Amino acid sequence: MYANIKSKYTTGLQVSTSYEDFSSSSGRLPSRVLQKIRRTATRTTDFLYHKLKHEEMTPVVTKEIQRYRTIAASAVLGIVSCAPWANVQLVRLWSYLQKSQALLPRMFRHDHWEWVLAVSAFFVYIHGFWLVDRRMVSTAKKGVRHPWRKYRLQDQYAAQQHERKVQHALSRGGNLAAEELDDVGPPMPKLSKWHAKAFLFEVPLYIVPLYIWDVLAPRRAARIATFSAPTVSRIATDIVGGLLLYDFVFFFAHWTMHKVPTFYRWFHKKHHESKEVRACDQVRLSGVEEFVDVGISIWALRFLGAHPVSRSIYNLMITFLLTELHCGYVSGLKLYTKKLFIGTH
């Protein structure tokens, strides 16, 4: 990549230098005109650089987004075609969840089910990305650039800085060492500190109020009894509607916390303390933020009258989307979901 950049810059510099040498030797052009020629040449090389970068990156991103579109379209088509069979299985599943005394159905009917499911999902997703981070670090220490590092935001930023350094040096006609033009790129930036204190503040702050609420007002078993077996269309409507409704309302809450200085300083600043976003930062929240985020999600599902099965699947999906949003990696999946859900992005 850097070899291509160098060739583009060399071409631009050769043009500008030839004009300058010609005009200087002839003595016909004043210095002001020479400066204008130099600025024009610099803008030309900048244009070539950014055009080259766009041409190199866009096909990769577009290909990934297209892949996820294909997967999403195939999943939707598969669900629609298998809906009659799936509806029969859902009737059996609902009967099992309502009447069986096995461990899973009893857990499903328990008042703690939804928040335990959400916390467990967050734990798995967040520490899954933690393992990915560790893998990136271990391979970097061995002098190997893991292919997933191209998705890591901090590596992308370091690469941009490195490219600007190459651009600046080449625009001035400087010579760079071979390793500075190597496609391996700059070394991996140091990871920011993991937010392990979440287990001391954010997690208890989330669990304790919901636990007390469940103990004082047990309601899930009676509420489940009012629902009939779900259908594929009911589950899809509940989940998509819940995600869109949550995202729409959260957009304005998040926008307010950024636009009102007092709200940002008191309620939202903590969320942005880390210079490098990592998956653990999803739960780096103030008490007010936790109340707002969880409250919006609960309200969205209650407003739609979502089925208990839909609510469980929704919790698994929303926790993944929020964790992936804060994981510090950008991929075709994130760019694809960004087109669908704007508030959380």
Tens of pLDDT, residues 66-112 = 777 788 888 889 888 999 999 999 999 999 999 999 999 999 999 99
* φ, ψ (nearest 5 deg) of residue 326: -105, 10
Distance between CA atoms of residues 208 and 257, nearest Å: 25
C-alpha span between 20 and 68 (Å, rounded): 51
Tokens 């903590």 belong to residue: 270
- The amino acid occupying position 93 is L
Give the C-alpha separation, 343 to 291, whole Å. 17
Contact 303, 282 (CB under 8 A): no
- Quick one: the chain helix, strand, coil %, rounded to 5? 80, 0, 20
293-331 as b/e: b if 16+ CB within 10 A: bbebbeebbeebebbbbbbbbbbbebbebbbbbbbbbbb
Residue-wise pLDDT tens for the chain (345 aa)? Answer: 444 444 444 444 444 444 444 444 445 556 666 676 667 766 666 655 555 554 444 445 567 777 777 888 888 898 889 999 999 999 999 999 999 999 999 999 999 999 999 999 999 999 999 999 888 888 888 888 888 887 787 777 777 776 777 677 666 665 555 444 445 566 777 777 787 777 788 888 889 989 999 999 998 988 999 999 999 999 999 999 999 999 999 999 999 999 999 999 999 888 888 877 888 888 888 888 989 999 999 999 999 999 999 999 999 999 999 998 888 887 655 554 554 444 444
Q: How far from 131 is each of 149, 216, 258, 331, CA to CA, in Å?
A: 14, 39, 31, 17
The token duo for 78 is 């598969």
How many Cα atoms within 13 Å fall on the side-chain side of residue 260? 11
Q: What's the rounded Cα separation, in Å, for the pair 279 and 192?
A: 11
